[in-house]
Amino acid sequence: MPDTTSIPTPYVGYSVVKPEWLDANGHMNVAHYVSAYDDGSCPMFDDFGLGWDYTHRGEGSVFMVSSSIDFRREVLAGDPLEMTTLLLGFDRRRIHIYQELYHREQRYLSAQAEFVFMHISFATRRAAVMPEASLSRLAEIHAAHARAPRPPFVGRSIGLDWKPS
């Protein structure tokens, strides 16, 4: 069994709330949380070989196919962000992660999210098996991350307990 003690659990990435991410409310718009999470996931995706360098080589990429985000507290222009990323699971074509977004200085949780990504071949524009090296590294990361507590947010359903009058 490989030594997984050097694998960050969780991975940590950083960003900042850019002025173009603001909406008329003066805070980061809902659509740009995904941009921030994208910035924050780079360390882990780079580690298993499917980061932006892989995409730019033109073989393939990972596309988000499912997401769930809860917004806890707003962040404003210039606020420094810290995102943590845990690998929850994977198979030969998909990757399931959990992320938290924090205000880096004030240390409050701004949002939490769950995402599923699909590996896509640029030649076919369809789901494809990930490279073997990526699958091997994902197995090592998963072994390390499986020891972390599973966040209660993961896998939940949303809705209202509402009954019409």
The domain that contains 90 carries what CATH number?
3.10.129.10
- Are 76 and 154 in contact by the 8 Å Cβ rule? The answer is no
Q: How far apart are CA 81 and CA 38, in angstroms?
A: 12
Q: Would you say residue 48 lies in a domain? A: yes
In a domain, 124, yes or no: yes
Residue 121 lies in a domain: yes
**pTM for the model:** 0.92
pLDDT level of residue 162 (50, 70, 90 thresholds): confident
β-sheet bridge partners, residue 119: 62
Question: Which residues touch 76 (CB under 8 Å, ≥6 apart)?
Answer: 17, 22, 26, 27, 28
Q: What is the pLDDT of residues 46-67, one digit of tens each?
A: 999 999 999 999 999 999 999 9
CA gap 99, 68 in Å, rounded? 10
pLDDT tens for each residue of 93-127: 999 999 999 999 999 999 999 999 999 999 999 99
- Per residue in 120-136, pLDDT tens? 999 999 999 999 999 99
Q: How many residues are listed for the chain in this entry? A: 165
Instruction: Answer yes or no: is 26 within a domain.
Output: yes
How many separate domains does the chain show? 1
Domain range for 124 is 11-145
CA distance 80 to 103: 6
Residue 161 pLDDT: 83
